[in-house]
Chain A
């Protein structure tokens, strides 16, 4: 069972309190009606699914209820960075650094 740090509760809590909410930083276009079928496919279905650092969303479903983002190594399952929804995506350089 993973131990996950909730950035709102500022506490490490067991995975059972959380639900995974998939890949992070997939932004819903403000002009939804205008996007093409291919853009819709890319947004709704296509996923990075990386072996390495995944940027993903979790929700503290049985806690504060908040969604937040994490950078997690999908090979070791180690959490490398936890940040609040709305905070910017870590830069490639930062991800490189986290991988070390």
Chain B
């Protein structure tokens, strides 16, 4: 049998697809053929396949129910890579909207071993146990069994499809866009809105989730607009819009989220329908659109009817059947029954009849049916049973008959191979509600309708509860401030009517599903209400109604109605669950777009970064920066490299890239006064050409940042900050300058990236740099420790500091960033022959710790005051005010017993304690132990041939010489409290 003959349900007379353009695909490994433009559902239906999935809890066999995004049942997995590598695996794809392409590999989900024979269906037998809330009442005995038995069992049953197991190789794009009018939905309403807005020369974006614009007009074979068929009117209108340069039409594009101030998120599916996508194309493109006005034309979603076994494959929504027929040329069966509570299902039935399908019966729940419809059915010889209901079906993997309760109360079984149903149409309030508009209950039509949104948006057409085309057109024109053209509309079918809740109370015996995917039945809803769940939110959470991947698009109104009836309350008093973004499930990748890997966060690199890379440096991330960590020589590990670097600096010299230090230029007549406010130190007495270590607090008195500040003139300071602190320090300064001291004549400029900073430290530092410096005398006498001078280094304008973060003779050379590498290399050319090394942050840390210099953020943590850190000398006593002064006077900050920064000497000098290790006085005490401090910094000091550590310790300053203990997992380390200066306590080395 050739594949084409496998499309027995393809109606040649109907549909817009080209029968010559065939597409081959597989479903569960079996090859099928469909037509270009088919959805997976329409193609499978053309092949007579209804069974497409299994439900979540009971593993009931399920067919496709709808032809749209509301699909609860036909969820399949698609694997894009031939090798099934696990990278391009897409779970939970709705067969009702996924277009087929040549070579598509689709598989059903949540079944084992196969869709037709699923062992999980045993759950169905246990269904009497699995009522709503079941889990809360059981699995508690014995207690231990929850972890070991019950939960693992429940978890294994969880989920639908399989997650990918490898990194997604596809690309995603992200765009921002602005427009005058954003129209969401390209059906009759949206197209007319675009047409009238376009006439006013407005910039328009119109998006629609479907591959083609036209919405319901594409599925309606009867309606005419000005004598044209609906499809022709769509074609003409789209052509007109396409020709307009102010109009952007986006198909396969879902408006998924309505955010603040008319920001709407759209996601465009670019390649999922293509067999061989161009690798240059993103798979999806996210549009973040800011619109002056948003027109919501999302349409309405048809509801199913709630009756026993209403989930059997072969039962579909009437509108879906009509769409499959008129758009795709597919009939859902050869002998179709109809069960309805509104008029639109008649149109579907008549179209199917015309395509050659036998209509077994139309069962209408309503007692009174429109006379014209009855006459038309009569003319076609179709039996109509008003005031009747379907109360059950026969057939499991596919229905083969329906049980009808007639108006007289008798029961009749009628043979069918498919049943189309309609409980009426639910206006889509999703985006309106997301715009924070309140849904308004309309008692007459038993629907929630949109009201006035607080944002600049308007709902038109079916999503506004409008049932006919003429009114829809008028609303569309009004929405965009234009005038509707006068159009003759004929054969329009009203969306009015319908029902919510149980279709027929006699149907209580079987499983009447409200929510298909989550297997929530009418009984479950009633049980929840009986157990005291009186708010719809409680009912929803207790039963999981509306929480499946379709988010209750079919089930919410039914669930609400059933609960309201039980409670004998009006529907709005029971509540409507809030609509939240996204409208339909939206790929993570489309949010993330390019922000992956190296583009996840920017990497800041210094001008000397590449030199370090070329010279074998390892790097560490510090805030956004990549800093050279250490420079291992062949065969060296980190410890050995750092040991060597430390020794070299102490005995010869080292060159260090300090460019990441934050730098702020503080300029103006009031610069010193401003510094007096921002830093704890006094700045009045500092002479130009001198530098000073400064501490910055917040108002609460805790250390916020620190750094060396050079005074270049009476009106100019060169302020340095910690590497990570630069942005917040500048913000902090700007805050005070702009809002507390706006009258001060001071200007602040971030110069972090303008200067490259090269530290040369060690006894040979002067000898190395001296020949390169012009315009300044840097001799020991003329350029003492804590000096700054503007001069030239290698002929480049420079700010040269004599400062030390190592305890050795040291200089920091600031040159314009563009010259950074050249100056570094010139220094290196002199340094290397002198026996100096390049060193990284780890060596910098060890060297500064040997001298007891703190690192803000490591030795302080936001609870440490300058006094706690032993820096009282840097807190001016005489200044009337500085930020932090008052905070420092608070009771707890002046109380005894504060944790203070000390040094620790381990009894075993070889023992390096762990940073973060906790200190106790009595290691024998029981847990919980009284901890009196912790280690903030700890290193092996090659120079001192012993470990060194700094710690914050309760009353630390008073504990010098005391023996304390660090209880680790497998040992107790004995330490003695000492001062924090381990190396060169007299400070002689600083002078070389």
Residues on A lying within 8 angstroms of B by beta carbon are 1-3, 19, 21, 28, 32-33, 35, 37, 40, 43-44, 57, 59, 61, 65-67, 76-78, 85-86
Contact = CB atoms under 8 A, between A and B. Distances in A.
A1 B259 contact: yes
Contacts of A1: 259-261, 263, 288
Interface string B262-298: 0100000000000000000000000010100000000
Contact of B731 (A3, A32, A37, A59): A59
A33 B881 contact: yes
Nearest to A85: B739
A35 B886 contact: yes
A57 B735 CA distance: 10
- Classify the interface of chain B: helix, strand, loop or mixed: mixed
Contact of A57 (B290, B739, B890): B739
Interface in B198-249: none
Interface in B689-709: 699-700
A76 B263 CA distance: 14
Nearest to B738: A67
B742 A40 contact: no
Nearest 4 A-B pairs (CB), nearest first?
Answer: A3-B261, A32-B886, A67-B738, A28-B740
10 contacts: A1-B260, A1-B288, A2-B260, A28-B740, A40-B886, A44-B699, A44-B887, A59-B734, A76-B454, A86-B742
A35 B735 CA distance: 21
Interface in B429-474: 436, 454
Category for how many chain B residues contact A: 20 to 34
Given A2-B260, A44-B887, A67-B734, 20 more contacts: A1-B263, A3-B260, A3-B263, A3-B290, A19-B731, A32-B881, A32-B885, A32-B886, A33-B880, A33-B886, A40-B887, A40-B890, A59-B734, A59-B735, A61-B731, A65-B734, A66-B738, A67-B735, A78-B454, A85-B739
Interface of B: 259-261, 263, 288, 290, 436, 454, 699-700, 731, 734-735, 738-740, 742, 880-881, 885-887, 889-891
B424 to A, nearest CB: 33
Contacts of A43: 699
A21 B735 contact: yes
A67 B887 CA distance: 24
A57 B738 CA distance: 12
A65 B740 CA distance: 16
B414 to A, nearest CB: 55
Contacts of B263: 1, 3
Contacts of B887: 40, 44
A85 B436 contact: no
A23 to B, nearest CB: 12
B726 to A, nearest CB: 13
Contacts of B881: 32-33
* Residue picked from A19, A21, A32, A35, most chain B C-beta under 10 Å: A32
Contacts of B734: 59, 65, 67
A61 B732 CA distance: 12
A85 B261 contact: no
A21 B699 CA distance: 15
Contacts of A3: 260-261, 263, 290
Contacts of A19: 731
Contacts of B738: 66-67, 85
A3 B454 CA distance: 16
A57 B731 CA distance: 13
Contacts of A21: 735
Nearest to B879: A33
Nearest to B736: A28
Contact of B890 (A37, A67, A86): A37
Contacts of B886: 32-33, 35, 40
* Residue picked from B290, B731, B738, B881, most chain A C-beta under 10 Å: B738
Nearest to B886: A32
A84 B742 CA distance: 12
A7 to B, nearest CB: 13
